[in-house]
Amino acid sequence: MQNGRKDSALGFWRMGIASSRLSVQEVCQIFASAKKVLNVFFTLRLQFHKTPFKTVMLKYPRLFLTPFRFAICGIALLLCSCATVTESSSQARMQQLETAHLDFIKHHTCVEGALVTWDQASFDSEVAKITQQFTDAEAAESKAVPARKEFIKNSANLFQRDAALIQKKHCLSPSFAANKEKQLQQNYDLLLHQP
Amino acid sequence: MSNLQDALNQITDPTVADAKSQFEQLINEGKAASEAFIKSSAEQLEQWTIDVSNGNMSQDEFDNLVSSQAILAKNFVASQALAAQKRAEDLTIKTAELAATKIVPLLLLAV
């Protein structure tokens, strides 16, 4: 009976954890702590049944449910906060990618009357840095939402195309830069301004 | 040149007359679409064509914008899927939270 109840309660945690955006390591940690807390509760509950305090428990049942309530509230709060933190950090990462991409375009836009100075090493380093940002952002996304990973992958592809064009021309026309800015805003708005 | 018609009038080759009218028709249909993504894409494509006809953009730059727009279309599809995935996720997390905070405690009290 106790084991059945324990399995049923743990089943809810499994269901909740499986559907949230957490890494495998985070899920394991939460699951381990949840299991530990529930184990403490069920052990305590079993002990109370066997002790002379049984009558007290019947008279004041709420007193003996405190550890369980703590466990429930703690884990529910943890699940809620993890979901919220993951969502907002993901949005922040996307915002950073958009800014980095837009700054990159702005940085390589031709200025009328100014000579184009080309520094290959600096360009390579700039491209590598932003490429790494895309890679990190994709890796940080949970597998629970594959469309978000797909979105970042496609946006990284957009960036690589722009980098290839700059590598070829060394300088972008102001008209292209203005059109590209609009296009990138349209791209990132698809994810950042979800209904 | 400030509009698409003027830009297209620069092309005098009669063999592409059909392509010209088809292009213009598709742009106008896109601009009239109710979907924001399609509307914005059509407006941008029109602007790129005008910029090229005015000599403000090169062929390479135009090609980059067009091929990038194809990727944007993929992201548009991904964003639609994302909205559905988000809804499913919200529903499952909320269900689990409800079970954890309301149902299970009362269930255990009742047993």
Q: For the residues A155-163, what does the mean pLDDT come to? A: 97
Q: Indicate if A111 and A138 belong to the same structural domain.
A: yes
Look up the domain containing A129 and give its range.
Answer: 89-192
> Which residue of chain A is at minimal alpha-carbon distance from B102?
A72
Residue B43: exposed, middle, or buried by beta-carbon count in 10 A (0-12, 13-18, 19+)? Answer: middle
Position A180 pLDDT exceeds 70: yes
Write the residue in A13, A147, A179 that is nearest to B82 by C-beta: A147
Q: Indicate if A56 and A130 belong to the same structural domain.
A: no
Q: Indicate if A54 and A95 belong to the same structural domain.
A: no
Cβ contacts of B64 on chain A, cutoff 8 Å: 161-162, 165, 176, 180
CB contact under 8 A, B72 and A190: yes
Residues 6+ apart with CB under 8 A from A109: A171, A172, A173, A174, A177
Q: Indicate if A109 and A180 belong to the same structural domain.
A: yes
> In 3D, which of B15, B14, B44 has the Cα closest to residue B27?
B44
Are the C-beta atoms of residues A91 and A192 closer than 8 Å to each other? Answer: yes
Q: Indicate if A68 and A136 belong to the same structural domain.
A: no
Q: Indicate if A148 and A58 belong to the same structural domain.
A: no
CB contact under 8 A, B104 and A72: yes
Between A24-28, A62-66, A181-185, the lowest mean confidence (pLDDT) is in: A24-28
d(CA A115, CA A123): 17
Question: How many domains does one find in chain A?
Answer: 2
Q: Which residues of B touch A (CB under 8 A)?
A: 37, 40-41, 44, 47-48, 51, 56-58, 60-61, 64-65, 67-69, 71-72, 74-76, 78-79, 81-83, 85-86, 88-89, 92-93, 95-97, 99-101, 104-105, 108-109, 111
Write the residue in A16, A73, A194 that is nearest to B93 by C-beta: A16
CB contact under 8 A, B105 and A72: yes
DSSP β-bridge partners for residue A109? A172
**Cα distance from A36 to chain B (closest Cα, Å)?**
16
Cβ contacts of A182 on chain B, cutoff 8 Å: 44
**Cα distance from B54 to chain A (closest Cα, Å)?**
10
Q: Indicate if A66 and A149 belong to the same structural domain.
A: no
Q: List phi, psi (to 5°) of A170.
A: 70, -15
**The pLDDT value given to residue A21:** 47
Q: For the residues B28-34, what does the mean pLDDT come to? A: 90
pTM exceeds 0.80 for this model: no
- Residue with the larger pLDDT of the pair A51 and B15: B15
d(CA A74, CA A37): 10
Position B9 pLDDT exceeds 50: yes
From the CB of residue A57, how many other CB atoms can be counted at a distance below 10 Å? Answer: 16
Q: Which of the four pLDDT bands, split at 50, 70 and 90, describes residue B56?
A: very high
> In 3D, which of A23, A155, A18, A131 has the Cα closest to residue A86?
A23
Cβ contacts of B79 on chain A, cutoff 8 Å: 147, 151, 190-191, 194
- Per-residue tokens: A49: 């049944």
Write the residue in A147, A148, A187 that is nearest to B72 by C-beta: A187
Q: Indicate if A63 and A95 belong to the same structural domain.
A: no
- Per-residue tokens: A15: 């269901």
Q: Indicate if A32 and A120 belong to the same structural domain.
A: no
Q: What is the pLDDT of residues B72-107, one digit of tens each?
A: 988 988 888 777 776 766 666 656 665 676 667 776
CB contact under 8 A, B100 and A183: no
Q: For the residues A78-95, what does the mean pLDDT come to? A: 69
Which residue carries 């548009």 as its tokens?
B76
Domain termination residue (choose one: A82, A106, A130): A82
Domain termination residue (choose one: A53, A82, A111): A82
> Which residue of chain A is at minimal alpha-carbon distance from B55?
A175
Q: For the residues A33-56, what does the mean pLDDT come to? A: 51
Query: Buried (b) or exposed (e) across B44-83, using 16+ Cβ within 10 A?
Result: bbbbbbbbbbeebbbeebbebbeebbebbeebbbbbeebe
Q: Indicate if A178 and A99 belong to the same structural domain.
A: yes
Q: Indicate if A73 and A30 belong to the same structural domain.
A: yes
Q: For the residues B39-50, what does the mean pLDDT come to? A: 92
The interface pTM score, or ipTM, of the predicted complex is: 0.75
Q: Indicate if A94 and A77 belong to the same structural domain.
A: no
Domain ranges of chain B: 1-57
**The pLDDT value given to residue A143:** 76
Cβ contacts of A195 on chain B, cutoff 8 Å: 83
From the CB of residue A17, how many other CB atoms can be counted at a distance below 10 Å? Answer: 21
